[in-house]
Amino acid sequence: MAKERFFLELDPPHGAMADWPHVVIVGGGFAGLKACHVLAGQPVRVTLIDKRNFNLFQPLLYQVASGLVSEADVASPLRQMVGQAPNIQILLGEVVDIDTEAREVVFNDHRYAYDHLVLASGSGSTYFGHEEWRPLAPPMKILEHADEIRRRLLMALEEAEQTRDPERRRFLQSVVVVGAGPAGCELAGSLIELMHRAVERDFKQLDRAQCRVILLDAVDRVLPSMAAKLSADAAAYLERAGVELRLNTMVAAIEPGRVLLRRPPDAAAGEADAGDQGLGDLEAATICWTAGVRASRLGRLLAERTGAPVDRGGRLQVEADFSLPGHPEIRAVGDLCHYAHTGDGRVLPGMAGPAVQMGGWVARDILAGLEGRRSAPFRWFDLGSMAVIGPWYAVADLRGLHVSGLAGWVLWALAHLAFIPDTENRIALFSKWMWQIATRQRTALLITGRPDQHLGVDVGLERALPPDGVAQSPEAPPSEPLNRLISTPRITAM
């Protein structure tokens, strides 16, 4: 493979840039994008590598899944966000290896040298060793996942509209959401509201009373990371909205249209006689998974290359400056890092606020080091946590200040609009939220794609075939085939 240091050396904006340090950032999420913003216009060359050509605002994926907004409302092209800075280039591709001795990243059949490497490749979903459940219960980590959830639910309602069998109709109008954290609660609340309004207005043969959304988790309360009062408020609202809560209940298996249940070990310990009797199985045409999160696979890769420790979720345990032990030139930020250098020793949560602060601090620390200065230690400013449960209703824990209801929704809306990196998307989202609240109509209820098409996605650079049918890299022999334009689908979500 040819070693190329920086594409801009082919036609650099000015000669001095050739001697600037090269910073490679892997991942264009909250942390990576913030690092690019800080480094834009500074005397460093920056290469941002991502498998997708856009920044995705993951906290609003549930609104795509439930038809509140469209894909373009929660995604912004990276080239428009930071690519126009003269010292930043955007490259589409997936990093498959990192040579820490040579200080090179490997992707798209090339090797690129770096002076500083910032890993911000985010997280994906985990099924706790049961990957066979993935096609039966889509996660909600990328746009295609949200599209698949929406497609499955709307197709089930369309079939129910034409079904004479009442048992079959009840099955088609049932949804199970696994995971009672913020994502699960937000999805469950949005789906029940969608089903109720759609049945009342758009489907003539369906009965609103037959719509079921079951929220399932092994924990004893929804939103377990929030204060008990906010958890109780959220649970009460969800139940009033029609969501059935099945807590203290684990998934034993997932089959087509069925979730098999069992008690968690701690709950079963005091009920040996009862065992799993009475739990029953849940039958639903639509099953969604929001229960597990794992770090990007680059965490395990770097652990193998450097010996850096990782936690149970695959996150790299980093030093106080986010560097890997023994490798000050490599930083891990966002969902990929296990950062416990806080005042109380608690690990920073995997949310947008900490990720943005990490990415900005690391970029400023790199610049300070190049100037011979020492940065002030990283201090995380806790902005709190929030979850929207329904129209005009959210819960917010703002550093001990607990707010729920309309006031919570206003705070949630302002915070999310502030974190949206693109002004056009802010305006579009605010307009659609107001329209939906005023009319109770959703603007993105489209059924697209084929069954399960959205789960088997293979993203990254695709090479178009020349007339002879073989794509060539600069260093490949004339007869060596590379990636074809149409590749075999596989699940590759970070």
Catalytic residue IDs = 186
Query: DSSP letters along 422-438, please?
Result: -HHHHHHHHHHHHHHHH
Q: Which residues contact 72 (CB under 8 A, 6 or more apart)?
A: 425, 428
Distance in angstroms (rounded) separating the CA atoms of residues 180 and 177: 8
Distance in angstroms (rounded) separating the CA atoms of residues 49 and 94: 7
Distance in angstroms (rounded) separating the CA atoms of residues 390 and 402: 17
Assess contact for 147 and 64: CB atoms under 8 A. yes
Assess contact for 149 and 288: CB atoms under 8 A. yes
Assess contact for 293 and 335: CB atoms under 8 A. yes
Beta-ladder partners of 394: 388, 405
Assess contact for 397 and 224: CB atoms under 8 A. no
| Cα angle, residue 131 at apex, residues 313 and 334 outer, rounded to 5° | 30
Q: Which residues contact 266 (CB under 8 A, 6 or more apart)?
A: none
Distance in angstroms (rounded) separating the CA atoms of residues 150 and 64: 8
Q: How far apart are the two ends of the chain, measured CA to CA in Å?
A: 25
What is the chain's percent helix, strand, coil content, to nearest 5? Answer: 35, 20, 45
Beta-ladder partners of 111: 3, 106
Provide the H-helix boundaries in 242-338. 265-269, 298-306
The SS3 call for residue 14 is: coil
Assess contact for 291 and 217: CB atoms under 8 A. yes
DSSP letter for 396, please: E
Distance in angstroms (rounded) separating the CA atoms of residues 19 and 13: 13
Distance in angstroms (rounded) separating the CA atoms of residues 125 and 452: 17
Is the sign of the CA dihedral 456, 293, 275, 231 positive or negative? negative
Taking Cα atoms as reference points, which of 398, 395, 414, 415 lies closest to residue 406?
A: 395
Distance in angstroms (rounded) separating the CA atoms of residues 65 and 189: 12
Is the sign of the CA dihedral 46, 49, 52, 53 positive or negative? positive
